[in-house]
Amino acid sequence: MIRKLFDKIGAQWVFLITVAVVYTVVLIIHPLACVESFFGFLRLIVRMLPVLALVFGIIFFTNLLIDPKSISKHLGEGSSIRGWLIAIAGGIISTGPIYMWYPLLSDLKAKGMKTAYVAAFLYNRAVKIPLLPMMVFYFGVRYTVVLTVYMVLFSILNGLAVERLITDTQGDQ
Amino acid sequence: MFAKQKLKSAGVSTLNSMKMSIPVLLGVLLLISLITHVVPKKAFSSLFSGNLVLDVLIGSIIGSISAGNPLTSYVIGGELLKQGISLAAVTAFILGWVTVGAVQIPAEGLMLGKKFAFVRNGVSFLMSLAIAVLTVVTLGEL
């Protein structure tokens, strides 16, 4: 029955309906928390709209201007150091929350982007240049530099490990 | 400048991406807002044990299941340090917060594949422990 529901309306709507059910339960148990959360959600949406517009703008122009073959060439198998640099720089300079970038990465993955680069991009989303002064304020310059360097270096290990583990599991099946 | 057909095809692909992603994004935003409002920030410090190794693990777990702006993790991390929680545990907490997203796994799974989402978050969790230890060792604070 659940399988049928997934096929009929799509997993994305099942997910949203499930979240709505969670809100309904919270509304019954703790109405104030539910109302505050919902208004918090509305404020989040308003804040996220520019990023969302940017992401879908990039998706549109990627579809319009970039040939899938060129994505395979720069971010696919055999793209090597250039691919890593694009994934790392892309992850660092991209703004907004991580989940806003899932649609674009899904699109690029379908066009041939390597799994390792997708993982490295997502890992580097943790390096937030505009927030570095805040980290310096709380933890100091040395700590911020050391942690940032480790995060960037480990993003490559993360990408390699994720790709390896996914390939190994697929091979076992 | 662009052929009509090409513009139409790019528009249709983008609309399909939107149709797939918007319900997922709305769901994630609703969940994050709920967690941010329901879990009080002061609750975090009571979860640490005082044992260095265990606290690193606890820090990473709490960070991984928390959600919200990375700035919030710095603020909470700073408060935890003031309350005497070790730098390694606080680092693991921040890393878990910014690199692992338990709340976002359903959305990540829907868009990038379930296996990818679980493996990526699992690997990121383990790496948060390693980087936390390496950072404090490098700084000579262990």
Give the residue extent of every domain in chain B.
4-138
Q: Is B103 exposed, middle or buried (0-12, 13-18, 19+ CB in 10 A)?
A: buried
Chain A residues whose CB is inside 8 A of the B7 CB are 64
At A135 the three-state DSSP class reads helix
Query: Residue B104: what residue type?
Result: Q
List % helix, strand, coil for chain B (3-state, nearest 5): 80, 0, 20
pLDDT band at B2 (very low <50, low <70, confident <90, very high): low
Q: Find the length of chain A.
A: 173
List the one residue out of B75, B59, B67 whose CA is nearest residue B129.
B59
| B76-123: pLDDT as tens digits | 888 889 888 999 999 999 999 999 989 889 999 999 999 999 999 999
Own/partner contacts of A161-166, CB < 8 Å, gap of 24 or more, are A161/B123, A162/A115, A162/A116, A162/A119, A162/B116, A162/B119, A162/B120, A162/B123, A163/A114, A163/A115, A163/A116, A163/A119, A165/B119, A165/B123, A166/A115, A166/B115, A166/B116, A166/B119
Task: State the nearest Cα–Cα gap between B27 and chain A, in angstroms.
Answer: 5
Query: Residue B71: what residue type?
Result: L
pLDDT at A173: 40
Chain B residues whose CB is inside 8 A of the A34 CB are 34
| A46-59: pLDDT as tens digits | 887 888 888 888 88
Residue of B nearest to A135 (CA): B74
| A147-157: pLDDT as tens digits | 999 999 999 99
Residue A100 to residues A29, A114, B104, Cα–Cα distance (Å): 31, 19, 11
In a mutational test of the B interface, the residue from A35, A99, A121 whose CB has the highest number of chain B CBs within 10 Å is: A99
To which H or E segment does residue A144 belong?
helix A141-172
List the one residue out of B101, B97, B84, B93 whose CA is nearest residue B132.
B93
Could you tell me the pTM of the whole model?
0.80
Q: Is-contact A103 B19, C-beta < 8 A?
A: no
List the one residue out of B101, B100, B110 whose CA is nearest residue B22.
B110
Question: What is the predicted ipTM?
Answer: 0.83
| B43-62: pLDDT as tens digits | 777 888 888 899 999 999 99
Which of A31-45, A55-69, A77-91, A120-134 is predicted with the least confidence, judged by mean pLDDT?
A55-69
What per-residue string of b and e applies to B49-78 under the rule 16 or more CB within 10 Å gives b?
A: eeeeeebbbbbbbbbbebbbbbeebbebbb
Cα–Cα dist B122/B134, whole Å: 19
Average pLDDT of the residues in A128-152: 91
Count CB pairs under 8 A between chains A and B. 182
Q: Is-contact A156 A140, C-beta < 8 A?
A: no
Residue with tokens 């769901």: B27
| A20-69: pLDDT as tens digits | 999 999 999 999 999 999 999 999 888 878 888 888 888 888 888 877 77
Average pLDDT, chain A: 87
